[in-house]
Amino acid sequence: MTLSASTACTNRGEFGLISRIAAKVITTEGVITGIGDDAAVTELSAGMQLLTSTDMLLEDVHFRRAWHDPYRLGRKSLAVSISDIAAMGAIPRWALLSLAIPPGLPPDFIDDFIRGFLAVASEYRVTLIGGDTCSSRSGLTLSVTIMGEQFPDRIVRRTGAKPDDDIWVTGTLGDAALGLRMVEKGEGDEFIVGRLLDPTPRVSAALILAGAGLASAMIDISDGLLADFGHIAELSQVGGCIRCSDLPLSVSFRSHPAHITRIPYELALSGGEDYELCFTADSSNREKIIEAMKKCGIAVTRVGIVASSPGVTARNPDGSRFQVHTEGFTHLI
Ligand SMILES: [Mg+2]
């Protein structure tokens, strides 16, 4: 349905909220009917297929109101969904947002949340076309559904990695996991905490890779490089080796050794929520990838190699196996 107050919890306040949200939405092309009718009507670009992904964000499971200010929570809730569409090499187009609002939530909170959500929507030319609102007995629950489109032969899946392909990542790794440790301690380094609370989906990099057919498989790093490359490996029926010494670490990350309980590799390998891209590519594409990423201003690093036998390992510079103690990121709790 389009954004509406559920019958079970209809009241004037919610209709007021919907009209406030609807008034702020900027419509982009392809939206025939947006918020207000029983269903939204959209039109795909000629020859493209529809990609759809949905995410639920629960208070005290995926976010804490004490850490996430409403504006950045609104930004992040859409950005992480856009990241899933980017991970397929597709163009994000339309979003649905559902909110279960607990008693006592200040009205300003929702307004600021929507402001953040719609700011990211306009940055990526995504239109909010509907959703639902209702009351929650306790805790704020957010559900975001994102839709994107792409030509069938440009969609990049998790299934295409081949033995001897390079494993690449965009940006830097471990920042968001370090950011989580910092906000837990009530500390703040703007860059590091921003990486956790206001991540950037790598849409332009993904679209360039997809458009040029440079990536054989791709995923966005939400649960940590080892876990997320593990998904590519499993679905492509391959394995892989990550070289710890090649993991890209930000200057800010390197300047915070006190917070890194073991070795920095641990957070870079298994810290979640960086929302960088991990992709595989034939080694003959190396120069083209570096050139293409330079053009869109995104750092890209070759961090490993796909193996024919199953299993994903991380190696120290001396070739010994790096044992990760916490594999895969548990989102906040
Ligand atoms: Mg994903």
Ligand 1 center from residue 52 Cα (angstroms): 12
What is the reported pTM? 0.92
Q: List all residues 6 or more positions away from 30 whose beta carbon is below 8 Å from its beta carbon.
A: 42, 43, 44, 45, 93, 94, 127
Report pLDDT for 254.
Answer: 87
Average pLDDT for residues 122-135, to the nearest whole number? Answer: 94
Of 130-134, 181-185, 197-201, the one with minimum mean pLDDT is 181-185
Name the average pLDDT for the chain: 90
SS3 297: coil
Where residue 239 falls among pLDDT bands split at 50, 70, 90? very high
Q: How is domain 166-315 classified at the architecture level of CATH?
A: Alpha-Beta Complex (3.90)
Report pLDDT for 37.
Answer: 86
CATH topology for 4-153 is: 60s Ribosomal Protein L30; Chain: A; (3.30.1330)
Average pLDDT for residues 118-133, to the nearest whole number? Answer: 95
Query: Residue 191: which of 249, 253, 259 has the closest Cα?
Result: 253
For residue 74, give the amino acid letter. Answer: G
Ligand 1 center from residue 170 Cα (angstroms): 14
Whole-number Å distance between alpha carbons of 5 and 99: 10
Q: Say if CB 331 and CB 67 are below 8 A apart.
A: no
Where residue 333 falls among pLDDT bands split at 50, 70, 90? very low
How many other C-beta atoms can be found within 10 angstroms of the C-beta atom of residue 184? Answer: 12
Ligand 1 center from residue 20 Cα (angstroms): 31
Whether residue 257 is predicted with pLDDT greater than 60 in this model: the reply is: yes
Ligand 1 center from residue 320 Cα (angstroms): 30
Ligand 1 center from residue 239 Cα (angstroms): 19
Average pLDDT for residues 3-8, to the nearest whole number? Answer: 51
Query: Residue 198: which of 78, 45, 64, 322 has the closest Cα?
Result: 78
Average pLDDT for residues 261-284, to the nearest whole number? Answer: 88
Domain boundaries, the chain: 4-153, 166-315
Whether residue 49 is predicted with pLDDT greater than 70 in this model: the reply is: yes
Ligand 1 center from residue 174 Cα (angstroms): 17
Most confident listed range (33-37, 42-46, 319-323): 42-46
Report pLDDT for 327.
Answer: 47
Of 72-81, 206-215, 253-262, the one with minimum mean pLDDT is 253-262
Whether residue 329 is predicted with pLDDT greater than 60 in this model: the reply is: no
Query: Residue 78: which of 121, 45, 15 has the closest Cα?
Result: 121
Q: Is 142 exposed, middle or buried (0-12, 13-18, 19+ CB in 10 A)?
A: buried
Ligand 1 center from residue 182 Cα (angstroms): 24
**β-strand pairing of 166-170 with 91-101:** unpaired
Q: Is 39 exposed, middle or buried (0-12, 13-18, 19+ CB in 10 A)?
A: exposed
Q: What are phi and psi of 202, to 5 degrees?
A: -90, 60
Q: What are phi and psi of 176, to 5 degrees?
A: -65, -40
